[in-house]
């Protein structure tokens, strides 16, 4: 009796996962045509940069190349760039900038109480101050 229940449970779990897989394929179909992709970048258009290496390979549709050293084990290698700190802002902005300027993933924030009021009495926001400076 217990074996039958385990087999039923396994069958139901498998059925649920097959359903979820089919649902994912319906909601996120694989785009097989390059022109339907949101964007593309061809290997020939890659920038010349020390951390971008394009491999050499032989064309299998034409006759074999005599020199076997032409092909490499990779088509494209991309190295991680060396991250550097952002340059500090001018000294006059240190008093009004919060520490978020050091983190590129965060928006720039200001100490609004240290900024003078606008002439037209408009409420000071981070976006308004950013446009001013």
The pLDDT, as a whole number, for residue 59 is 65
Q: Which two tokens mark 62?
A: 């034409």
Same-domain check for residues 97 and 71: no
Residues 65 and 127 in one domain: no
Per-residue model confidence (pLDDT) at position 65: 47
State which residues form the domain around 109.
Answer: 91-132
Q: What is the pLDDT of residue 73?
A: 83
pLDDT per residue rounded down to tens, the chain (133 residues) = 566 788 899 999 999 999 999 999 999 998 888 888 888 888 889 998 888 998 887 666 555 545 555 567 888 999 998 888 878 877 777 777 777 778 878 887 777 665 555 556 655 566 666 666 5
24 and 68 fall within a common domain? yes
For 65-84, give one letter per residue: b (16+ CB within 10 A) or e: eeeeeeeeeeeeeeeeeeee
Please report whether residue 86 resides in a domain.
no
Are 10 and 74 within one domain? yes
> What pLDDT is stored for residue 43 in this prediction?
87
Give the β-pairing of 52-54 and 76-78.
antiparallel
**What's the confidence (pLDDT) of residue 105?**
84
**In the structure encoding, which two tokens stand for residue 116, read together?**
């003078």
Count of structural domains, the chain: 2
């Amino acid at each position: 009796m217990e074996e039958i229940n385990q087999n039923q449970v396994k069958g139901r779990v498998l059925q649920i996962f097959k359903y979820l897989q089919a649902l994912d394929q319906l909601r996120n179909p694989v785009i097989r045509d390059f022109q339907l992709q949101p964007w593309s970048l061809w290997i020939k258009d890659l920038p010349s940069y020390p951390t971008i290496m394009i491999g050499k390979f032989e064309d299998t549709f034409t006759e074999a190349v005599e020199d076997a050293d032409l092909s490499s084990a990779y088509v494209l290698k991309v190295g991680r760039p060396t991250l550097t700190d952002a340059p500090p802002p001018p000294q006059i902005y240190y008093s009004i900038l919060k520490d978020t300027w050091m983190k590129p993933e965060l928006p720039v924030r200001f100490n609004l109480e240290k900024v003078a009021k606008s002439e037209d009495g408009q409420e000071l926001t981070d976006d308004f101050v950013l446009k001013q400076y």
